[in-house]
Chains A and B, each alone.
Chain A
Amino acid sequence: MEKDIFSRLAPRWRTHIATVGMLARQGFTQEMQYPKGQPMAVRRDAFPPGGGMPGSDLDFMRAQHLDPNNVQFGVLIPLGAAQSLQNIDLSVALCTAINDWQVEEWTSREPRLRGSIVAAYQDPQAAVAEIHRLAGKRDFVQVSLLSRLPNPIGHRSFWPIYAAAAEVGLPIGVHAFGNGGWAITGGGWPSYYGEDMMSHAQTSQSALASLVLEGVFERFPTLRVALIEGGLGWLPSLRWRLDRIWERSRDELAHLPRPPSEYIRESVWLTSQPIEEPANRQHIAEVIDWIGWDRVLFASDYPHWDFDDPQRAMPLPLSRERRDRFFLKNALDLYGIPHG
C-alpha cells in the first residue's frame, strides 16, 4: 500500500495519512473490529518469495494461481477501506491512485486480467467522473462498490453512478465489505470474527433489497449488478420473501410495477465464493436451479485465506454446458469479453 498506492498521492494526502491515518468509522488504528482468521486474512503460502504482500506480485500470482488453475480471464477487485473512509476527499484521491495502479502494474502487463473501477461512491460526482475517465479502456470491466456505507446503496444519492454505469455499459460489482459505521447485524455487534464473516452475506442481502425496492432496476433497466463474496445460497429465499411482501404492499411500492424476482432474475449475478457446502451436494445444484445457471460466476477470492479452489468449488458433477457457464462463459458474457 505504502509503496504502490500512497506514493501516487498528492503530498497533502501523504501527510494526512502519516498524521491521522485513514479513519473508517471504527475504532482501531491498525485493523478492523475483529482480528482475522489468518494474518491480514491471506493465504500463508501466498506471500511472494521476493517480498511484499500477497497479491502484489504479478509473476508470483501467475505461478501460483493463473497458470496452474488455467485461469483464462480474471477480474481484479482491489479491496480495503479506501472507498468508505470518513474523509471523502481522501477517498477520492485513493480510488484514483488504485485505479491507475491496476493499469500500470496489472492489466497492461497481463492480458488475462481486467480491472474494476474502484469508485469513491460517497462522492457520486467524483465517482461518475472517474467512470468516464476510465470506461473506454480495455483494462476495466466493471465499477466496484462495497455493500456497507451509512446509507443503503439503493438510495437516490447513488443514482448518478448507476446512470453512468448504464450509459457506458459496465456492470456494477458490489463486494460484501465496507465501513458504514453501523453494527453488522440489526441486533448489534457480534463477538467473533466468524460471525462478522458470516454477516457479510446479510450486507449483500440488504444491499440487494435496497437496489430492488428503491427502484434502481426499474429506473435503469440495462444496469447489471454482480454481488461478490456474499455466497449464493440465500438468494432464492430472499427473492421469495420480497415477492410475497411486494404482493401485499403495492401501495407503498407503487414505483415497482413488477415483482422483485423479475428485476433480480434479469439484472443480478452472484459470485460463488465462499460457496455453501451442504452435506448433500445435490442441494447446491437445486439452489442454482432456482437462481439460474446463467447468473452464477466462479470466484476464487485469491489470495485470501478463505480462497475457493476451482478444483473443489463446485463439488458435484456438472454437464459440460453448466461447467463452461459457471467457470467461464457467464463471466465473459457479463463483462463483455467476446468468445466463441
Chain B
Amino acid sequence: MNLQNLGAIDCDMHPVVPELKALVPHLPANWREAVESRGIPGFESNAYPQRAPITARPDWRDDAGAPPAGIDRYRKAVMDRWQLGHAIGNCIYGVHMVLSEDMAVALATAVNDWMAAEWLDADPRMRASIIVPWQNPERAADEIDRCAADRRFVQVLMPVMAEAPLGRRHYWPIYKAAERHGLPIGIHAGSAYRFPVTPVGWPSYYVEDYAAQSLGFQGQLGSLICEGVFSKFPNLKVVMIESGVSWFTPFLWRLTKFWRGTRSEVPWVDRPPLEIARDHIRLTAQPLDAPDDVETVGRIIDQFQSDEMLLFASDYPHWQFDNDEVVPAGLSAISIEKMAVQNPLATYPRLRETRL
C-alpha cells in the first residue's frame, strides 16, 4: 500500500472527548451548573467501552491505556505518517443517547464548538461532522444552519440506531437542511439504545453488540430507500461509516428482489434500490469485514460493480488493522487513488473548495 503523495482523505477518524470537563466551557450556564449540582459523570457510550479492544488500537492508546485524546497523537500516528491531505472528525460522544432533547441540544452545540476550537483550529487539514440533536429534528436543523456557516464542517452525523428508522418523514427537516448546505448525512455505528441492538433481544456479550451494528445499517438502508428520502432529496448523499461494507451488496440484491414484489406500497421508489444506492450511498472502507486474501477481497469489490462507493478511512483510534495496513489488500493502485482522493472529493463538496 502506498498512500504517499496522494494527499489521502481520512473519511472517518474519532476525536475523543477526554472527559465531560472538556465540554463544560462550551455549555450554557444552566447546564454548566447542572453538571456540577447533579453530579453528571459523562456520556461515554457502551457501544465503545473504553477498555474494549475494538475501541482503541493497543499502540494508539495513551500511557494509562485510555483511548487517545488530542490532535497531536492523531497527527503522529496517522495524519503525518501517511501524509494525509484532509481528515474528517466524527465525534461519537454519547449526545445521541441523551433522552432529553434540551440536554441534547446543549451537548451537541458544546461538542461542535469544542470540535472547532480543539481540532479544526489546530490543523488546517482537519474537517468535522456536525453533531445534531436528532431527538428534535427542527432543532437539529437549527444546529446545522448554525454550524454550516463554518465551511470546515463538511457532514451531518447521525447514529445508526435512533428512536425510529432514519428514513421516517419525522427526520426529513434534518435532510432538508443538510441538502441545502451541500452536506452529506454520515450515519455512524452506535445506538441510542432505545431498543435492543438486535431484533431478537438484548445480547449477553459486548461482541454481539458490535456485531449487530452492521445489521443496524441494513435496516437503515432499507428505510432510507423505502421511505423515499432520495426521491425527496435528489442531491443528498449518505455515508455509512464503520458499517462493515461486505454486507452491502448481498443486502441490496435482497432489497431489490423484495422491492419487485412489494413496490406497490412504496410507489415513489421508482427504480431498483440497487441503482438508488449506487447514486446516493457511500461507505467508509474500515472495517471491510473481509478476509485478508487478495482474491476474496477482489471478488467482494467486483460485486459492488462500482468503484465510486468506497471512501478511505482509518477509523482511528478503533482497532481495525495493524501497522500500516490501512488499505485493504486486494485493491489496485487506481482503486486506491479513487477511494482515497476522488471519491471523497465527489462525496463532500466542501472539500473541493480548499483543494485544487
Contact = CB atoms under 8 A, between A and B. Distances in A.
B201 A152 contact: yes
A186 B253 contact: no
13 contacts: A152-B200, A152-B204, A180-B199, A182-B200, A186-B219, A187-B160, A188-B195, A191-B223, A206-B215, A236-B246, A243-B291, A245-B211, A286-B299
Which of B250, B258, B289, B296 has the most C-beta atoms of chain A within 10 angstroms of its own C-beta?
B250
A168 interface: no
Which one of A149, A206, A305 has the greatest number of beta carbons of chain B within 10 Å?
A: A206
A237 B195 contact: no
Contacts of A249: 52-54, 206-207
B165 A195 contact: yes
A192 B262 contact: yes
Interface in A159-186: 180, 182-186
A248 B222 CA distance: 30
B165 A189 contact: yes
B218 interface: yes
A37 B262 contact: yes
Given A187-B191, A195-B165, A236-B246, A274 B211 contact: no
Interface in B279-296: 287, 289-291, 296
A189 B250 contact: no
B63 interface: no
A287 B299 CA distance: 10
B262 A197 contact: yes
B315 to A, nearest CB: 13
B162 interface: yes
Given A37-B262, A237-B247, A203 B223 contact: no
B250 A233 contact: yes
Contacts of A109: none
A153 to B, nearest CB: 7
Shortest 4 CB-CB distances between A and B: which pairs? A233-B250, A185-B219, A194-B262, A206-B198
Contact of B196 (A182, A238, A240, A241): A182
B214 A277 contact: no
B219 A153 contact: no
B77 interface: no
Contact of A206 (B161, B212, B319): B212
Contacts of A121: none
B254 interface: yes
B259 A195 contact: no
A244 B287 contact: yes
Contacts of B211: 209, 213, 238, 241-242, 245
B163 interface: yes
A280 B305 contact: yes
Contacts of B205: 213-214, 252-253
Interface in A216-256: 231, 233-234, 236-238, 240-246, 248-249, 251-253
B246 A274 contact: no
A147 interface: yes
Given A194-B226, A195-B222, A274 B210 contact: no
A294 B218 CA distance: 27
A249 B274 CA distance: 34
A336 interface: no
A258 to B, nearest CB: 15
B2 interface: no
A306 B212 contact: no
